[in-house]
């Protein structure tokens, strides 16, 4: 056989090898702990978000590789569900209820106030990085609204004044009242 | 002697300060060197009285509420540990008319027991249904549920026994029981209350379902907006496993039932059963075509029972007391009782479990006490965001699946959201379309595109831009969504929109809208 010029086969970088160690470990642990479950992708994504607060897009190749899925499939799932975050949130996430029962007791006005006080629209993070404001469609607190949840803590009968106290009480007004 | 004080650990009570109250009671008792045992319960569902603190006395449980942490020293000073009088005194809790005049078949243990105590559950009739079911033939269990007349409490009201029979008769080495705990409808919270206040009841109902249809695995699909329910259910499932009520050999019967709790991720559409199954399988929550029915090809292609929390939780009492006992409540083809939820702008919001047949008016005024704002009730929305908006003229409709359907409404999951006369119904109609656009799974065009077009048409209509034409267009669009959508999201969004347009037309014309803006 005549000698041919050798063709270099590019070696594919192992998925996830470019990730910071801590993130890589979070993904591998989440996969390890949930792999045996039927339909394990959602539990794995929850486990990751619980640990690092969001699901950075750079993790998707590793998740896909570990589960023998395509990146598109994983991206499709992450982007379908409102709860999975593709952007880094602030220190606290405020879930403000927009649904009918809260509308009936002033949620629309509260929403306008919250956006003004934090200086953000929904999905935005306040300038000081403290608060991310997210809409939520029902927290099940429908007889004592308007409701919001902050860091798993549920609050009812919320008013603009109590909202300011709540975000002020967590250290830092985040520009509360600005532009009011 | 130690006095038992009951303080809820349920989410609404916590949102009103129950945690601080519990800590204050503990601290004050320690300061006064009084022996107090604090039991954290679910909520009875009398939300305007939360945090509702109950004291166990010789004369039954005496209630105080709504209690704030600052009230606690005063309560001790008034001798509340022996049922002493105080401005917040409510007397014996069971005698409060709101609670006394209910028929709590499914929700009887809420707020009474320690939700994560299996002993407490058993002491209040828990697991008697399962004990009766264990020696029965599977077909006999199915027949008992069929005979009870129980219909799916999630909204579609399909007869539960018939669904179970389909799964029972379907061949397959593996079958599943799936509980739809994705209670996304605004104005509903009975699933949450049950899971936070009586989680073993749900576990027992699902276990009985497993025995009835021959399913050895079950899943609870819980929405992630309910972290407190997640904690309670997780604890209860672990306890049930530890005590042999779940696992490879349920109570030594040689029959297996494995139960897992799974979290959703904030998608309203996952309350639709096929979308829920997709999500459980680890995919986007896009709905499936039917047929095949989930009863034949459901989770992972296997025969699957998908029922709502309250449906499963109604099963233990049917097996405990018999089909006839349950069927004797209710009216027409709606048998048994419905946990109704009074929500929105309502003075006495909460949970009212009554046999079918109670009128909307009785619920709104006798139980609910009118609006929280004190203004007249202008509209109610029954059945969640896909339910019709009804004016006062329809308040005499009895709560019955058929009566509501005949009136152009939907009883759904039994949530009633109340609005006073400041509501702008055009804005509510617009929101219904907007919500559909946000939550559409995108699989079918009428829902995906129609909802966005709907928002635009309503905006033009309210702006007075060729109003007659926009109204015709809106009705035509609603007709397309109603008849052309694959599932209830696109198919029922026209109900709130058209009912707002039909009953509150004045809000859609420009002068009224301007007036509303001025208010």
Structure confidence at residue A64 as a pLDDT band (50, 70, 90): very high
In terms of phi and psi (left: phi > 0; alpha: psi -120 to 50; beta: otherwise), the region of A152 is: left
Q: What is the mean pLDDT of residues B424-439?
A: 98
Inform me whether the C-beta atom of residue A39 falls under 8 Å from chain B C-beta atoms.
yes
CA distances from B296 to B33, B139, B158, B306, B401 (A): 62, 17, 16, 11, 26
Residues of chain B contacting residue A73, judged by C-beta atoms under 8 Å apart = 283
Contact A42 B279 (CB under 8 A): yes
A95 lies within 8 A of chain B by CB: yes
B378 pLDDT exceeds 70?
Answer: yes
Q: How many angstroms away from the CA of A6 is the closest CA of chain B?
A: 43
pLDDT at A161: 97
Closest alpha carbon within chain B to A80: B284
Q: Does B197 touch chain A (CB under 8 A)?
A: no
Supply the pLDDT for residue A176.
38
Residue B303 token pair: 């025969």
CB proximity list for B406: less than 8 A, separation 6 or greater: none
Give the span between the Cα atoms of B164 and B516, in whole angstroms: 50
Residue A174 — pLDDT band, cuts 50, 70, 90?
very low
C-alpha dist (Å) from residue B1 to B27, B37, B57, B357? 18, 10, 12, 46
Q: Which residue of A has its CA nearest to B186?
A: A138
What is residue A166's three-state secondary structure?
helix
- Report the C-alpha gap between B282 and B285 in whole angstroms: 9
pLDDT of residue A172: 44
Q: Say if A140 is an interface residue toward chain B (CB within 8 Å).
A: yes
Rounded to the nearest 10 degrees, how much is the dihedral formed by the CA atoms of B193, B195, B201, B203? 160
The predicted-structure confidence for B47-100, as pLDDT tens digits, reads as follows 999 999 999 999 999 999 999 999 999 999 999 999 999 999 999 999 999 999
**Mean pLDDT (whole number) for B324-328:** 98
Q: Does A138 touch chain B (CB under 8 A)?
A: yes
Report CB contact under 8 Å: B349, A144: yes
Q: Which residue has the higher pLDDT, B59 or B318?
A: B318
What are the residues whose beta carbons fall under 8 Å from the beta carbon of B410, sequence distance 6 or more? B155, B382, B383, B386, B387, B388, B404, B492, B495
* The pLDDT of residue B388 is above 80: yes
Task: Give this prediction's pTM.
Answer: 0.95
Asked whether the predicted pLDDT for residue B513 surpasses 80, the reply is no
| Distance in angstroms (rounded) separating the CA atoms of residues B217 and B258 | 5
pLDDT at A4 > cutoff 80? no
Per-residue pLDDT band at A170 (split at 50, 70, 90) = low
Residue of B nearest to A143 (CA): B343
Tens digits of residue pLDDT in A29-55:
999 999 999 999 999 999 999 999 999
pLDDT tens readout for residues B365-376? 999 999 999 999
Closest CA to B285 of B311, B301, B263: B263
**B413 close to B404: Cβ distance less than 8 angstroms:** no
Cα torsion for B72, B78, B84, B89, to the nearest 10°? -50
Q: Which chain B residues are within 8 Å of A80, Cβ to Cβ? A: 267, 284-286
Compute the distance between CA of residue B496 and CA of residue B317 in angstroms, rounded to an integer: 35
CB distance A103–B265 less than 8 Å? no
Cross-chain residue pair B282–A39, CB shorter than 8 Å: yes
Mean pLDDT in residue range A135-145: 97
Select the residue from B8, B10, B12 to test the A interface by mutation, using most A Cβ atoms within 10 A. Answer: B12
**For residues B410-427, average pLDDT:** 97
Instruction: Give first-to-last CA distance, chain A, whole Å.
Output: 83
Q: What is the pLDDT of residue A173?
A: 41
CB contact under 8 A, B439 and A137: yes
Q: Which of residues 72-101 of B touch A (CB under 8 A)?
A: none
Under a CB-based contact definition with an 8 Å cutoff, are residues B66 and B16 in contact? yes
User: Percent of chain B at pLDDT above 90?
Assistant: 97
- Residues in chain A within 8 Å Cβ distance of B268: 137
């Amino acid at each position: 056989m005549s000698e041919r010029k050798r063709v270099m086969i590019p070696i594919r970088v192992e998925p996830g090898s470019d990730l910071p160690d801590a993130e890589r470990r979070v993904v591998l642990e989440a996969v390890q702990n949930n792999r045996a479950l039927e339909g394990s992708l959602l539990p794995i994504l929850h486990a990751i978000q619980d640990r690092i607060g969001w699901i950075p897009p750079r993790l998707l190749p590793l998740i896909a590789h570990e589960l023998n899925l395509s990146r598109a499939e994983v991206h499709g799932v992450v982007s379908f569900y409102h709860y999975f975050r593709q952007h880094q949130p602030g220190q606290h996430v405020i879930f403000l209820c927009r649904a009918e029962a809260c509308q009936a007791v002033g949620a629309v006005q509260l929403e306008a106030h919250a956006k003004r006080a934090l200086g953000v629209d929904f999905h935005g993070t306040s300038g000081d990085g403290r608060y991310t404001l997210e809409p939520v469609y029902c927290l099940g607190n429908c007889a004592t609204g308007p409701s919001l949840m902050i860091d798993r803590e549920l609050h009812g009968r919320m008013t603009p004044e109590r909202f300011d106290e709540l975000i002020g009480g967590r250290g830092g007004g985040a520009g509360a009242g600005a532009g009011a | 002697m130690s006095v038992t004080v009951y303080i809820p650990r349920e989410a609404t009570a916590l949102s009103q300060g129950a945690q601080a109250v519990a800590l204050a009671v503990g601290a004050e008792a320690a300061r006064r060197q009084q022996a107090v045992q604090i039991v954290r319960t679910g909520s009875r569902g009398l939300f305007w009285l939360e945090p509702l603190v109950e004291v166990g006395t010789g004369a039954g449980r005496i209630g105080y509420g709504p209690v704030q942490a600052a009230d606690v020293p005063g309560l001790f000073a008034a001798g509340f540990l022996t049922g002493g009088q105080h401005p917040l005194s409510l007397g014996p809790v069971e005698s409060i008319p709101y609670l006394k005049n209910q028929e709590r078949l499914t929700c009887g243990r809420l707020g009474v027991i320690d939700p994560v105590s299996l002993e407490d559950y058993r002491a209040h009739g828990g697991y008697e249904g399962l004990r009766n079911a264990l020696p029965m033939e599977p077909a006999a269990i199915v027949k008992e549920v069929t005979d009870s007349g129980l219909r799916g409490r999630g909204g579609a009201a399909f007869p539960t026994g018939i669904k179970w029979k389909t799964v029972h008769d379907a061949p397959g080495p593996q079958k599943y029981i799936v509980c739809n705990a994705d209670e996304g409808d605004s104005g509903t919270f009975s699933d949450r209350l049950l899971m936070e206040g009586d989680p073993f009841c749900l576990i027992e109902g699902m276990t009985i379902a497993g025995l009835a249809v021959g399913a050895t695995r079950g899943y609870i699909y819980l929405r992630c907006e309910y972290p407190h329910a997640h904690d309670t259910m997780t604890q209860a499932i672990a306890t049930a496993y530890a005590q042999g009520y779940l696992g490879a050999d349920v109570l030594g019967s040689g029959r297996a039932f494995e139960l897992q709790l799974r979290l959703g991720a904030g998608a309203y559409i996952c309350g639709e059963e096929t979308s829920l199954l997709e999500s459980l399988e680890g995919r986007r929550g896009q709905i499936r075509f039917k047929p095949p029915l989930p009863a034949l090809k459901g989770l992972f292609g296997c025969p699957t029972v998908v029922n709502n929390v309250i449906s499963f939780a109604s099963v233990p009492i049917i097996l405990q007391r018999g089909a006839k006992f349950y069927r004797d409540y209710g009216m027409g083809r709606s048998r048994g009782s419905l946990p109704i939820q009074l929500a929105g702008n309502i003075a006495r919001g909460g949970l009212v479990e009554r046999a079918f047949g109670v009128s909307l008016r009785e619920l709104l005024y006798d139980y609910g006490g009118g609006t929280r704002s004190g203004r007249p009730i202008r509209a109610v929305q029954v059945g969640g965001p896909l339910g019709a908006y009804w004016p006062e003229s329809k308040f005499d409709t009895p709560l019955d699946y058929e009566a509501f359907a005949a009136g152009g409404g939907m009883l759904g999951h039994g949530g009633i959201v109340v609005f006073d006369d400041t509501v702008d119904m055009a804005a509510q109609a617009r929101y219904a379309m907007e919500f559909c656009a946000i939550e559409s799974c995108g699989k079918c065009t009428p829902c995906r595109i129609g909802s966005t077009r709907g928002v635009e048409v309503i905006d033009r209509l309210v702006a007075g831009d060729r109003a007659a034409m926009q109204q015709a267009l809106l009705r035509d669009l609603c007709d397309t969504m109603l008849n052309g959508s694959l599932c209830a999201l696109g198919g029922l969004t026209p109900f709130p929109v058209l009912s707002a347009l039909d009953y509150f037309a004045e809000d859609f014309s420009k002068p009224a809208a301007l007036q509303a803006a001025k208010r």
